[in-house]
Amino acid sequence: VAAPDIPADWRPERERVTGGPPDATLPPGALVMGILNATPDSFSNGGQHAQADDAIAAGRRMLAAGATILDIGGESTRPGAQPLPPGEEWRRVGPVIAGLRGAGGLISVDTRHAEVMARALEAGADVINDVSALAHDPDAAPMLARHTTPVILMHMRGTPETMNALAVYDDVAVDVVRELGARVAIAEDAGIARDRILVDPGFGFAKDAAQNITLLRRLPILANLGCRVLVGTSRKRFIGQITGVARADDRDPGTLAATLPGLDLPGALLRVHAVEPMIQALRVWQALHPSGRQATKQGVSPPSLQDRSTS
């Protein structure tokens, strides 16, 4: 079912979908994406990687732990965050891209600005991750259409400043699929092929705790979009609300539980702050599901009790 055609009263009889084409330009199987915030004001690790040398060192540690992709961001999109000029955003992320280019992993740049996207691609970025799904900057889609880079489109309503007031849905899972499907269609109309597009349901963006849980329970419905899916629950507020853990940096155990449902989708990207625990959890999951989807990285071996690789 194509998302833009989903009727308002549609409810799938079977939401556990096992199809969905792999993106031709990314490795197959589940991939771990390490979050690298080069910002002074992110909700987690805010300021720890604000200096380029610190961010580069952290990125290398994530790659050594088994991450396939590093997602480098220079603009905080936490609830209530103020927008950042593209020039300042590039000042933060440009040196980090340069320092990690050739370090052994793929580089994703988390940005809403066409100017930053273009400069990142010129500097060697492999993936563009736009939390606005190309809605923030009208120049983004036509610029990306001139490239072959994978593009991640995230579901959000409004902006980081306004999104919390927009968390009203008839059916959060169906509405997210429909709204993401509309953004995928806009990207395709601009000339971005669907096999380049990945989708992110946007946990914590214009969604309250109950809606995040519902969306996680019904995550396989996203396969109806025919795109690989990014699961980004890492250290989010709803995990703290469930567990009673107030400090974001202490929510990694809850993050594992909230991320593993993504493995019901083929080729999921698992976006986390703490890479090593996610790699361990993924290897155990693979050992328990030997016929399931495989992570194939550099770093995540196929499940075998005889395999003692720590690469």
Candidate list 271, 283, 293, 297, residue with the active-site label: 271
Structure tokens at 246: 């107030």
User: Is 181 in contact with 2 (CB distance < 8 Å)?
Assistant: yes
The CA distances from residue 118 to 99, 162, 249, 273, 289, in Å, are 18, 27, 32, 26, 40
Structure tokens at 141: 């889609």
Distance CA 24, CA 273 (A): 26
Distance CA 204, CA 239 (A): 10
Candidate list 196, 207, 218, 236, residue with the active-site label: 236
Nearest partner of 128 among 58, 216, 207, 25, judged by Cα: 25
Pairing of strands 269-272, 106-110: unpaired
Residue 236 annotated to the active site? yes
Structure tokens at 248: 């974001």
Query: Any idea which residues carry the catalytic annotation?
Result: 236, 271
